[in-house]
Chains A and B, each alone.
Chain A
Amino acid sequence: MLQAQADYLAATPIGLMADQPEPWAGSSDVPPAPVKAILENDIRLDEAIDGALHQIVADTESSALAIIQQVRDLHDHASKLVEYLEGSNLTAGNLGKEILVSMNHLVQIADFMQRLPAKMQRDQQSVTSVVREIKELGGLVGDVQAISMQSHLLAINAAIEASHSGSVGVAFRVVADEMRRLAANTGQLATSINNGLARARAAVESGIAKTLSESAQQLAEVSIATESIRRLRENLEDMNQYYKTRFAIVTKHNEDMAGDIAEVLGQIQYQDVVRQCIERIQVAIAARQESFRDALELADRQGPAFAAVPDQLASILAGYLEEEQKHLHSNRSDPADGGAVKLELF
């Protein structure tokens, strides 16, 4: 590329001038007006170009700095967002854990409630057994009443027999009367016990029926509530997993963006590479201006003095090309083609 540039420049009028003698060389004539005008105009053009190049460097640097700042802001905003999400994720996680603990307690209570019917059934069987015992007691009381009735009849018969025995049976009649009172009291007592047992049995049976009726409805409600809690817990776990996944995706995007930003910050360095290229061009232009100014100044003092100009320009060109060859940026440098190594650790 640089050789091609050199070849091209050598073929231009300035390059060709180096191989040809000045037509006015050795003459005392003043330089031809067109040549002088060309050099003067070229100096002015070079000054304008130099000013424009300065402006280009300043503008591109200003723009590069603005891009760097904006890219950095972008990175900072993204980092804050991730930080915020991380905080939210942590808070939500802790909250979720607390909710899960509470839900586990509720589930335990619900499980207990669901086991309650079986427990109540066992209790009911016990109570039924008690009722059966009460019934059996009622049967025994009937036996006592029957025995009381027989004792009463026996006492009456004994009293009749005692009255037939005259004075001999007086004492026996007293015993018979006592037995009759005893039988009557026993009968009354047995009746009272029987009534009491009947009331107790009725109360127990009524209580069981009521409890069973109420608990059936409550247990149905508990069952619904338990199912709701289980679903809620599953939803909460799903939600936690969803947010974890989302957060992982956001973090990955942020990392990718940080990588892209690093690439952008690398690419923006071309502004410096270009600046240095422009500065080398400016050096060559300044040298050319100086050569022309010297030639014009000399011509004004002692007549034609342009013979040295072609050599000076060739020298400036060679110097410029040499400087260019010393400066390569990493994307133009391919070691496989004999270019400089992009990275070398000594």
Chain B
Amino acid sequence: MAKTIMIVDDSSTMVMSLKNSLEIAGFHALTAGDGAIAMKSLQGGAKPDLIITDINMPNMGGIEFIGKARKLPGFRFIPILALTTESHQATRDEAKRLGATGWLLKPVAGGDLVKVIKQLLPGA
């Protein structure tokens, strides 16, 4: 069965680029325009196998989203990757402290992203 990946980004280009890359690679993709929408989706029962989130977003940024998502029941060990142009070490450290699994710089080629996902989701 195809693994489900949630994409959280306020950029339509990013969302559509990642969604199509992942679907072509055989994954099922869920999307959310910011952290607040993603939280609502998770609280509503969405159960992705992995989450990819931007950091700088309106309403709720990626750092806050990572912290809140980790506190949801059943999301303690779900891999969460930050995908951003943000390279500030302090922000990176904060994301790590709040439970991010990894950090990727934009842009990321579909093939590279799939490699990372398969590393984190063996058998995907």
Q: Which of B86, B105, B113, B114 has the most CB of A within 10 A?
A: B105
The answer to whether B100 touches A262, judged by C-beta atoms less than 8 angstroms apart, is no
Smallest distance from the beta carbon of A74 to chain B beta carbons, Å? 11
For chain B, residues 1 to 45, give those with C-beta under 8 angstroms from any C-beta of chain A.
9, 11-14, 16-18, 20-21, 24-25
**Within the assembled complex, what's the spacing in Å between the Cα atoms of A64 and B20?**
13
Of the candidates A339, A341, A346, the one whose C-beta lies within 8 Å of that of B96 is: A346
The answer to whether B85 touches A273, judged by C-beta atoms less than 8 angstroms apart, is yes
Assess A265 versus B105: contact at CB under 8 Å? Given A65-B16, A272-B13, A326-B88: no
Mark the stretch among A32-40, A209-217, A327-335 that contacts chain B.
A327-335
**Within the assembled complex, what's the spacing in Å between the Cα atoms of A65 and B15?**
10
Q: Which of B12, B13, B56, B106 has the most CB of A within 10 A?
A: B13
The reply on A345 being an interface residue by CB < 8 A is: yes
The answer to whether A266 touches B87, judged by C-beta atoms less than 8 angstroms apart, is no
Question: Which of chain A's residues have a CB closer than 8 A to the CB of B102?
Answer: 343-346
Of the candidates A64, A263, A329, A345, the one whose C-beta lies within 8 Å of that of B106 is: A329
The answer to whether B17 touches A268, judged by C-beta atoms less than 8 angstroms apart, is yes
The answer to whether A342 touches B24, judged by C-beta atoms less than 8 angstroms apart, is no
The answer to whether B105 touches A72, judged by C-beta atoms less than 8 angstroms apart, is no
Question: Which of chain B's residues have a CB closer than 8 A to the CB of A261?
Answer: 24, 110
For chain B, residues 62 to 110, give those with C-beta under 8 angstroms from any C-beta of chain A.
85-89, 91-92, 96, 100-110
Interface residues on A, range: 35 or more
Q: Which of A271, A329, A343 has the most CB of B within 10 A?
A: A343
**Within the assembled complex, what's the spacing in Å between the Cα atoms of A10 and B120?**
47
**Interface 0/1 of A147-190, CB less than 8 Å to B:** 00000000000000000000000000000000000000000000
The reply on A71 being an interface residue by CB < 8 A is: yes
Question: Which of chain B's residues have a CB closer than 8 A to the CB of A68?
Answer: 13, 16-17, 20
Smallest distance from the beta carbon of A267 to chain B beta carbons, Å? 7
The reply on A276 being an interface residue by CB < 8 A is: yes
The reply on B46 being an interface residue by CB < 8 A is: no
For chain A, residues 246 to 283, give those with C-beta under 8 angstroms from any C-beta of chain B.
258-259, 261-263, 265-273, 275-276
Question: Which of chain B's residues have a CB closer than 8 A to the CB of A262?
Answer: 21, 24-25, 109-111, 114
Q: Which of A261, A262, A329 has the most CB of B within 10 A?
A: A262
**Within the assembled complex, what's the spacing in Å between the Cα atoms of A329 and B11?**
15
**Within the assembled complex, what's the spacing in Å between the Cα atoms of A1 and B107?**
20
The answer to whether A273 touches B110, judged by C-beta atoms less than 8 angstroms apart, is no
The reply on A50 being an interface residue by CB < 8 A is: no
The answer to whether A265 touches B11, judged by C-beta atoms less than 8 angstroms apart, is no
Question: Which of chain B's residues have a CB closer than 8 A to the CB of A265?
Answer: 17-18, 20-21, 109-110
The reply on B59 being an interface residue by CB < 8 A is: no
The reply on A229 being an interface residue by CB < 8 A is: no
Task: Closest A residue to B87 by CB, please name it.
Answer: A340
Residues of B in contact with A (beta carbons under 8 Å apart):
9, 11-14, 16-18, 20-21, 24-25, 56, 85-89, 91-92, 96, 100-114, 116, 119-120
Residues of A in contact with B (beta carbons under 8 Å apart):
61, 64-65, 68-69, 71-72, 75, 258-259, 261-263, 265-273, 275-276, 326-331, 333, 339-346
* 21 CB < 8 A contacts A-B: A61-B11, A68-B13, A68-B17, A68-B20, A69-B16, A75-B24, A259-B111, A263-B110, A266-B109, A267-B107, A268-B13, A268-B107, A271-B11, A271-B13, A275-B11, A330-B107, A340-B89, A342-B105, A343-B116, A345-B119, A346-B101
